[in-house]
Amino acid sequence: MSLLIRGAAPLGGAPVDVLLDGGVIAAVGRNVDGADADVIDAAGLILLPGFVDLHTHLREPGREDAETVRTGSAAAALGGFTAVHAMANTTPVADTAEIVEQVAQLGERAGLVDVRPVGAVSRGLAGEQLAEIAGMARSAAAVRVFSDDGHCVHDARLMRRALEYVKPFDAVVAQHAQDPRLADEHACAHEGEVSGRLGLSGWPGVAESSIVARDVMLAAHTGSRLHVCHVSTAETVDILRWAKQRGIDVTAEVTPHHLLLTCDLLSGYDPVYKVNPPLRPGADVEALRAALADGTIDAVATDHAPHAPHDKDHAFGEAAFGMIGLETALGVVARTMVETGLLDWAGVADRMSVRPALIGRLPAHGRAIEAGEPANLTLVDPAGRHVVVPDSFASRSRNTPFAGLELPARVVSTFRRGKPSVLDGALVTAVPA
Amino acid sequence: MSLGRNLLSAADLSREDALGILDTAQQMHSIQTREVKKLPPLRGRTVVNLFFEDSTRTRSSFEIAGKWLSADVINVSAKGSSVSKGESLRDTALTVAAMGVDAMVVRHPASGAVQRIAGWVDCHLVNAGDGTHEHPTQALLDAYALRARIGDLTDRHVAIVGDIAHSRVARSNVLLLQTLGARVTLVAPPTLMPAGVGSWPAATSWDLDSVLSGKAHGDVHAVMMLRVQRERMAGGYFPTEREYATSYGLSPARLDLLAEDVPVLHPGPMNRGLEISSLAADSARSVVLDQVQAGVAVRMAVLYRLLAGADLPVLDGANA
């Protein structure tokens, strides 16, 4: 079956017709003949390469009450994603070939997005001994991103060895940069005026930037690829800018929530705003937007972190960290980067698809919209202003900080391997909750 | 004038509210010297002391306060974090509320926990100390004891000394003393100052001697010493007890820097020899036991004003 997308604007440019056939883009041009094709009227819509999330928590195996590979895949497809990287902090931890293959298979079975497992850097995320990185890299899941996300690889020797060890596989170490020695075990907020007033134990910004400073030097020393997860401070941005100027092979991501929300929201002690790294002051938010605009930060990554309600129904300091973000990512990026004039739609495609696909080594994603390229695509309505309604989410969880917020653009349809996973804002195949 | 439904923060209190509570407390205080101490106004009302953290003095103080107002007082100990017990804070709070209580007095080791509970239950709530955030009734009883000793607090200068960063007593006192028109200077080593303290309505100093002598921020009219937990040494906040006591303890020599009528407060329990010398603790300046006595009266006033609602009660006999 072939599919003709009529009148869509690739990257926001001049409208064209795009014919999908056999999993690839068969033709691009004006008045493409799609005699037998199903036709999708895309007038007024923007066609982008399908989004690639470098940072997703799908919770399976272990916490299927919060999310499964299937429900998380559905949320991703509705958010315009065609590939997601499933973080390793599951139960059991994804630190062996068996677990990453299981997650990849669950993703294939769900069939909505490419689910790319992330392997743990250290066994059990304990930060002591390397996990079986080669085994995961050589497995059927062909892991290319390794991360102890949720924990910082804070031991310098282990970080050095990890950076060296991944080299034969062209893999990247994705660091959750946060020195645990610069905060106490109760840290749950940005250390500053708000945490001091509220009596919340804080992480200072320097807990992040000092690890990034060390790691870019280790990356330079080892000649390895380093990726910095969820950058949250202006100082980290400065270090990244310096490292990139020196030619150090470092990339970085920022979450939609760190592009929009500030630590002032903590005043009501609502754990929906509790996230790691924490929400920072407005000056950091401004620096992150500027860094994403100028490319110092390469990618938007959601850090989609589903939690069951009973893990959030606690005092702030005792509630779980994290917020969901797959189904709101595009809208938040449109609000913070497009509406503000910091990025055009080609820029959005670059930061949400092209660069994350390069970092994750996903050759079928983040490609140009040209004949012969794999048909992983997303249709966006740039005028699709809407209010966030959590109960409409496909995610099994509801811990979004954006409930009730108006966002300026929305995902209309998503195409994976030439077939629609989402049409007109709805999943093509019903996904059992 | 009426207090809101809850007392969660000293910031909830207007000057009028605070003075109203302190006036009511004065009436309550007078019955503490009577042979029969019970008053009837909360008869048939139920107050639960829901304590997620050990506390002998605060819990006893609230218990006596409730009982002297004829409320049925029940103590529920929920020690250990709700997370480790597997029950959410919401479930614990709803369970207690479902028993038909009129007020909950809550102590919790996590900052903001009482404010969270306020979003889930309909009964009155009193914050009896939440983590390192606030302890509003402590600030009220401190103000009560202070007023009894030095009168109106307008333009009076209070030094608060010790582990400000981790002190709910300090946070509530800064807010309430500001509301009552007093000036506050916070004294601590840099490691025990809260982040962002520059935006607080208080002066700060690392040098206790210059503050007590009045050289740093003018004459001091009261000194409040805070408890310093020995665990802070392990966290690297200060090296040894000896060095802390030398730099920030209220030693006999430092006592001599103060004018004779300057009272010394301490919320207890005291670490004698660490933040306060025995000479200071037992001197005529010490109002430590006045604070404890004021605690019952102030908590009676708070419970009365929240639960009975009216301005001045049928307390005619109380003035006797």
How close A342 gets to chain B, by Cα (Å)? 31
Q: Is B272 helix (H, G, I), strand (E, B) or coil?
A: strand
Please give the C-alpha separations between residue B307 and each of B37, B43, B147, in angstroms, as whole numbers.
Answer: 19, 11, 25
The answer to whether residue B81 neighbours chain A at the CB level (below 8 Å) is yes
The answer to whether residue A321 neighbours chain B at the CB level (below 8 Å) is no
Among A184, A190, A198, the residue to mutate for chain B (most B Cβ within 10 A): A198
- Asked if residue A182 lies in contact with residue A210, where contact means CB atoms within 8 angstroms, the answer is yes
Residue that is written with structure tokens 């958010």 in the block: A79
Chain A residue closest to B112 (CA)? A269
Q: Is B51 helix (H, G, I), strand (E, B) or coil?
A: strand
pLDDT band at B314, cuts 50/70/90? Answer: very low
The answer to whether residue B196 neighbours chain A at the CB level (below 8 Å) is yes
Please give the C-alpha separations between residue A202 and each of A179, A319, B74, B232, in angstroms, as whole numbers.
Answer: 12, 15, 35, 16
The answer to whether residue A194 neighbours chain B at the CB level (below 8 Å) is yes
In this prediction, residue B312 carries a pLDDT of 46
pLDDT of residue B319 exceeding 80: no
How close B101 gets to chain A, by Cα (Å)? 21
The answer to whether residue B90 neighbours chain A at the CB level (below 8 Å) is yes
In this prediction, residue B66 carries a pLDDT of 97
Rounded to 10°, the helix A234-245/A282-294 angle is 30
A–B interface: beta-carbon pairs under 8 A: 86
B residues 141-160 lying closer than 8 A (beta carbon) to A: none
Return the amino acid letter for A97: A
The answer to whether residue A155 neighbours chain B at the CB level (below 8 Å) is no
- Asked if residue A29 lies in contact with residue A63, where contact means CB atoms within 8 angstroms, the answer is no
Whose CA is closest to B294, among B137, B187, B185, B189?
Answer: B137
In this prediction, residue B84 carries a pLDDT of 65
Please state the rounded mean pLDDT for residues A202-214. 98
The answer to whether residue A264 neighbours chain B at the CB level (below 8 Å) is no
Question: Could you report the per-residue pLDDT of A144-157, keeping only the tens digit for each?
Answer: 999 999 999 999 99
HSE at residue A253, side-chain half, CA atoms within 13 A, is: 33
Specify burial of residue B55 (Cβ count, 10 A radius: 0-12, 13-18, 19+). middle
Among B95, B132, B204, the residue to mutate for chain A (most A Cβ within 10 A): B132
How close B240 gets to chain A, by Cα (Å)? 20
- Residues of chain B with Cβ-Cβ distance to A182 below 8 Å are none
Question: Could you report the per-residue pLDDT of B105-161, keeping only the tens digit for each?
Answer: 999 999 999 999 999 999 999 999 999 999 999 999 999 999 999 999 999 999 999
Distance, in Å, from the CA atom of A380 to the CA atom of A365, rounded to the nearest integer, reads: 17
Complex ipTM over 0.85: yes
Beta-sheet pairing, B103-108 with B124-130: parallel
Mean pLDDT of chain B: 93
In this prediction, residue B37 carries a pLDDT of 85
In this prediction, residue B318 carries a pLDDT of 43
Q: Please state whether B73 falls in left (phi above 0), alpha (psi between -120 and 50) or beta.
A: beta
Q: Is A206 helix (H, G, I), strand (E, B) or coil?
A: helix
Distance, in Å, from the CA atom of B165 to the CA atom of B238, rounded to the nearest integer, reads: 13
Among candidates B83, B89, B111 on the partner chain, residue whose Cβ is nearest the Cβ of A200: B111
Q: Which residue has the higher pLDDT, B253 or B319?
A: B253
Distance, in Å, from the CA atom of B170 to the CA atom of A111, rounded to the nearest integer, reads: 57
How close B34 gets to chain A, by Cα (Å)? 40
Contact B111/A196, CB-based, under 8 Å?
Answer: no
Please state the rounded mean pLDDT for residues A124-142. 98
Return the amino acid letter for A81: F
Distance, in Å, from the CA atom of B115 to the CA atom of B126, rounded to the nearest integer, reads: 10
Rounded to 10°, the helix A156-165/A206-222 angle is 40
Please state the rounded mean pLDDT for residues A386-411. 98
Whose CA is closest to B246, among B281, B211, B273, B223?
Answer: B273
The answer to whether residue A181 neighbours chain B at the CB level (below 8 Å) is no
Whose CA is closest to A315, among B114, B284, B77, B85?
Answer: B114
For CA atoms A398, A404, A408, A412, the dihedral sign is positive
Please state the rounded mean pLDDT for residues A244-272. 98
How close A185 gets to chain B, by Cα (Å)? 11
- Asked if residue B143 lies in contact with residue B180, where contact means CB atoms within 8 angstroms, the answer is yes
Question: Which pTM does this prediction carry?
Answer: 0.94
Mean pLDDT of chain A: 97
The answer to whether residue A202 neighbours chain B at the CB level (below 8 Å) is yes
Distance, in Å, from the CA atom of A253 to the CA atom of B216, rounded to the nearest integer, reads: 48
- Residues of chain B with Cβ-Cβ distance to A193 below 8 Å are 195-196, 199
Decide if A303 is catalytic.
Answer: yes
Distance, in Å, from the CA atom of A330 to the CA atom of A314, rounded to the nearest integer, reads: 30
Whose CA is closest to A254, among A319, A306, A160, A332?
Answer: A332
**Cis before residue B190, ω within 30 degrees of 0?**
no
Question: Could you report the per-residue pLDDT of B168-206, keeping only the tens digit for each?
Answer: 999 999 999 999 999 999 999 999 999 999 999 999 999
Please state the rounded mean pLDDT for residues B231-245. 91
**In percent, how much of chain A has pLDDT > 70?**
99
Whose CA is closest to A389, among A110, A78, A50?
Answer: A78
Query: Which tokens belong to A191?
Result: 């250390």
Among candidates B171, B200, B235 on the partner chain, residue whose Cβ is nearest the Cβ of A199: B171
What are the two backbone dihedrals, phi and then psi, of residue A359, each rounded to the nearest 5 degrees?
-65, -40
What are the two backbone dihedrals, phi and then psi, of residue B43, each rounded to the nearest 5 degrees?
-60, 135
Chain A residue closest to B91 (CA)? A313
Question: Could you report the per-residue pLDDT of B14-33, keeping only the tens digit for each?
Answer: 999 999 999 999 999 988 88
Whose CA is closest to A327, among A150, A73, A114, A92?
Answer: A73
Contact A317/B89, CB-based, under 8 Å?
Answer: no
Distance, in Å, from the CA atom of A325 to the CA atom of A258, rounded to the nearest integer, reads: 11
How close A180 gets to chain B, by Cα (Å)? 13
Please state the rounded mean pLDDT for residues B285-290. 96
HSE at residue A130, side-chain half, CA atoms within 13 A, is: 18
- Asked if residue B130 lies in contact with residue B117, where contact means CB atoms within 8 angstroms, the answer is no
pLDDT of residue A59 exceeding 70: yes
Question: Could you report the per-residue pLDDT of B72-118, keeping only the tens digit for each?
Answer: 999 999 886 566 677 899 999 999 999 999 999 999 999 999 999 99
Considering A95, A284, A298, A303, which one is annotated as catalytic? Answer: A303
Helices (H) and strands (E) in chain B, counts: 13, 9
